[in-house]
Chain A
Amino acid sequence: MQPSPAPSRSNLAGWLYVSPLVLVLVPFFVAPILVVLAASFFATDGFGGLTPGFTLASYVEVLHSALTLKLYLATIKFTVLTWVFTLIIGFFVAYFLVFHVRNQLLAIGLFLLCTVPFWTSNIIRMISWIPLLGKEGLINQALLAMGVIHQPLEVLLFSDLAVVIAYVHQLTIFMIVPIFNSMARIDKKLIEAAIDAGASRFDIMRLIVVPMSKSGIALGTIFVVSIVMGDFFVVKVMSGGGSASVVSAFYEDVGVLQYPTAAASAVLLTLVLVAIVSLILRTVDIRQEITR
């Protein structure tokens, strides 16, 4: 690098390059986080009024509550189940699109088809499960008509099962897209070379496709995990109020004007998520996915 005669000017150029990102990140990400962080240390008068200061009382309260652990366990259960199903479905859909659809136009068409559910709002998509899973829903009626069951299944709707179904329905696309992306970059010649070496379909999947899709899987995992862990709406609607998640708890806190506890819970959740994401990034190097 040439020594710059006017370092201040090149500095200015550097700042100009990052300024659009800074302009977005500071007001919409950094500032709210700082506000939440500050609020978590404030005291409250119990009626929504905050007293500036520094107290760890909210954290103590959150960490001492048995409810917190229960909520985290419930949330992690939803997260793991959703992750497993979205991963399995997402991986095979991507695999099919990349390796079995010969016609590229058709592959792109099918890929776009995966996004069709997203043309309507989240709420509509969830509500549309009711006529299917409800007590008088299609599934129950069909099973009753076939004589498989004699009582409608209650477990289908407003249950943990319904929550997981709704999550998988919503979030599989977040697995498909990054996995599709990294799979599409696998040179077809590698598959041929593996066949030439005598590899079976399963060997190719195990030794070539999965390891080479790792970054896509990691990226999809980050999306799914952070969305599920940060959600309360799906749990609320699909469980019919029967289940709760970490976020639904601090949503309740906000409802009863307990801002500092809500803020402390939010900070805690952010830390947990940061830990999970950095764990994922440690196991899989996703830089190649982002840079290329």
Chain B
Amino acid sequence: MQRVDLGMKNDRGDIELAGVCKSFDGVTNVVDGVNLRIADGAYCCFIGPSGCGKTTILRMIAGHEDPTAGEIVIGGQNVVGLAPVQRRTAMMFQSYALFPHLTVRENIAFALRVRGQSKTDRLRAADAMIEKVRLTQFADRLPAQLSGGQQQRVALARAAITEPRVLLLDEPLSALDEQLRVQMRQELRRMQQELGITFIHVTHTQLEAIALADLVVVMEQGKIKQAGAARDVYAHPHDRYVAEFMGGQNVLSGRVEKVNGASFTLAQAAPDGIEVPLQARPAVSVGDKVDIAVRRDDVALVRPGRDLPPGCTTSLPSRVLAIEYQGYFVKVMLDTVPDDEFVAYVPEKTFFADPFTVGDVVTATWATGSALPLA
């Protein structure tokens, strides 16, 4: 095997995707002109519904798929056409793809074996890695004799043993049950910090993405909808798609009734319309159709006739459709807007101080500043 990286050993794991496209049939682009920069040592999550192209991007970075167009640059070097080994990436496969006929130790040492390392060297390295993922007592077992969480650790160790500069994880937690998922999530983050390398993680679970990632990339139909810090993407979604996909937001649409300086008024079922601060959005003009987002936990519910809390100008008369107890908050579903879901997350204590029942008429309101215009 040729050693291309000798002498120019480069440990930088920053990634740049420039105009990356992928088409399998020559007609439709599964990945459609993706541009993205991922910093060295970042934890990046790609998130989107199935078929949005996130796994294809991952596989292109890993070298298991070639882009139809565009460049993939890792550590300053265009890696398109290079084998995974030459890219110094490693992939952790969905459902792990552990070699069923090899023990844990042999699985983990596999990459070193095919690189021609001597048996003693590679087994020593594998044992060190096994210790790191806390599997010492399972080293001689076959994958089928391990639990899901243990298998995941073997997969992680197998991928990490070659000291890659980028580790690619394809839905690493989807095969686990809920409780284990939360636990393994932390373990992934711990490993990432310990190894100090770039992790790219594909998932369709919003909670997983925002819990782990430094950089969340929301995708739809082969395009990046929004990329940014977890909190940015969650609290300041760029458009209706991101707001709805990330959740936690109510999205309302309406026509601009009047524009008053730094804010505008959206015509809605509310008696006086909805006042929305312009914020970062470029100017709107009267008659434009605009989407806005209001966080579900920013919505306050007031019984009709009572005063609105300070700072609230909007009042939307609504009826309670359903109530779900969620523990530290109560999810109240309302018929506030005709076509869209409208939900308020009421803190548990507030709710039970004066509980509503299904069918109650309430006024939904929020502090004017918390309404967010969407693109």
Contact = CB atoms under 8 A, between A and B. Distances in A.
Interface stretch (B87-95, B219-227, B314-322, B349-357): B87-95
Taking residues whose C-beta sits less than 8 angstroms from the other chain, chain A's interface range is 10 to 19
Taking residues whose C-beta sits less than 8 angstroms from the other chain, chain B's interface range is 20 to 34
B64 A190 contact: no
Nearest to B161: A197
A192 B93 CA distance: 9
A211 B103 CA distance: 13
A198 B1 contact: yes
B239 to A, nearest CB: 35
Contacts of A208: 99
Interface string A180-202: 00000001011011111111100
Contacts of B89: 196
A197 B97 CA distance: 12
Contact of B91 (A187, A193, A203, A211): A193
Instruction: Tell me the interface secondary structure of chain A in the complex.
Output: helix
A198 B99 contact: no
B101 A211 contact: yes
Interface stretch (B46-54, B108-116, B133-141): B108-116
Interface in B43-75: 62-64
A142 to B, nearest CB: 43
Contact of B93 (A193, A199, A211): A193
B93 A189 contact: yes
Query: Chain A CB within 10 Å — which of B85, B90, B111, B114 has the most?
Result: B114
A78 to B, nearest CB: 32
Contacts of A281: none
Contacts of B99: 190, 193-194, 207-208
B114 A194 contact: yes
Contacts of B95: 189
Give the top 6 A-B pairs by smallest Cβ distance, nearest first: A197-B111, A198-B85, A189-B97, A193-B97, A199-B114, A203-B114
Interface of A: 187, 189-190, 192-200, 203, 207-208, 211-212
Interface of B: 1, 62-64, 83-85, 89-91, 93-95, 97-101, 110-111, 113-115, 158-159, 162
